A = this chain, B = another copy of it.
Amino acid sequence: MLVGGEHVLVDPDLRRPYETDWTGAYKGRAAAVVRPGNTAEVAAIARLGMPLVPQGGNTGLVGGSVPDDTGTAVVLSTLRLRELGAVNTSSAQVTVGAGVTLGALQAHARASGLDVGVDLAARDSATIGGMVATNAGGTRVLRYGTMRHQLVGVEAVLASGEVISHLGGLEKDNTGYDLAGLLCGSEGTLAVITRVRIKLVPVYPHRVTALLAFEDLSSAVTGLARLRTVAGLDAAEYMVRRGIDLVRSTFGVPEPFRREHPAYLLVEASGAVDPTAELAAAISTLDVLDVAVASSAKDRERLWALRELHTEALTRAGPPHKYDVSVPLDRVAPFVAEVLEAVDSPSRTCHHFGHLGDGNVHLNVLGDLADELIFGIVNRYEGSISAEHGIGRLKQPWLHLSRSASELAVFASIKAALDPIGMLNPGVLLS
């Protein structure tokens, strides 16, 4: 037996949680669910040659970790690959199993005075393996980059069942193609990631948050260029009047300044020394309409609430259609203007906010779907139809808007090279 019997789930009731995605939009059917306990078991499963759907915490938003409805695929759950290696404080690195949740890794790293560079809301379910496979982003990309930038090594099982392992944690290592980087973001289509080596970041004792008001989004983009010199800048989130109005009317929170302003930038910095003076000095060179600086935890939370309540306010007003897109930073303002012009109508309202530091705009449409309209505009602005969520099954039909035919042909040739029979996550990412 490849895997202990209790870890091969064939009963429909036991299978179900693994067959349905987090959003509820994708319900598939698996031949079985297997939960291997180590890399050798993953390799043995791969050698069966059956279609495999690798699944971590199943928190994805694009249908990339559940099977289709043919019942032919095996869901390979990584949740038992829970090894937590010792934190190496010299190199600030750790090796963990693919099934370790972000929350568990954060707790493990913090016990050694370190932290994970990527953070996101699904931390208690999302697994590190899944986050690597989808190159997860989150709220601190501005400072630390996406998962690809935390990754210093990977162990994975190929479609052939062969294991590749490069977990030495060398930050300088020019010995051939960057396989770890290639698997990162490949959404389980090239290999099953079993272990990863992750670079950790310091935990900083000092933190400061500021809310800046601008006369328009374009001024906020210009302002951000100057704020980038603040070495400890962690986040730069933008909001606009329409969103603030919705949050205020939904939750009755107070207007942040005495006057209403058209656009807001929420910035946060942290450091081993207090970054308040440095941030204030950078802000003083900007053309802002109003500023609030918060150093206490309570004041900082109050400022963040404005941004974080957007999601809940939109859910109550909707549910909204969510579009996670990015465009070149200097085109964010005209892009958003064009989207609003095209999408807003008596039957539809478009809200937007986002991680301005990365050009990542979260469009939330209340009312009718606007896929074709929005992805078409993204395409004209040389943007990405998926900034952080990935392609999965959901966005596969639109991938040609962000990638040329030549690029798609290269994707297909790499896929064929690593997975000639197309057994890994069929139907996901590639057509």
Contact = CB atoms under 8 A, between A and B. Distances in A.
A252 interface: no
A170 B185 CA distance: 15
A230 B272 contact: yes
Contacts of A174: 134-135, 137, 185, 384, 386-391
A76 to B, nearest CB: 19
A323 to B, nearest CB: 13
Q: How many copies does the complex hold?
A: 2
Contacts of A158: 406, 410
Contacts of A25: none
Contacts of A282: 272
Interface in A385-407: 385-391, 399, 402-404, 406-407
A249 interface: no
A88 B382 CA distance: 15
A229 interface: yes
Interface string A139-150: 001000110110
A204 interface: yes
B178 A181 contact: yes
Interface string A155-187: 000100011111011111111111101101110
A176 B391 contact: yes
A48 interface: no
Contacts of A184: 178
A329 interface: yes
Nearest to A278: B273
Contact of A383 (B168, B176, B359, B403): B168
A291 interface: no
A367 interface: no
Contacts of A382: 168
B231 A170 contact: no
Contacts of A178: 135, 148, 181-182, 184-185
Given A90-B225, A149-B149, A170-B326, 18 more contacts: A90-B222, A137-B174, A141-B171, A164-B406, A164-B407, A168-B327, A172-B360, A174-B390, A175-B386, A175-B399, A176-B185, A176-B391, A176-B399, A177-B185, A231-B232, A231-B272, A273-B278, A417-B417
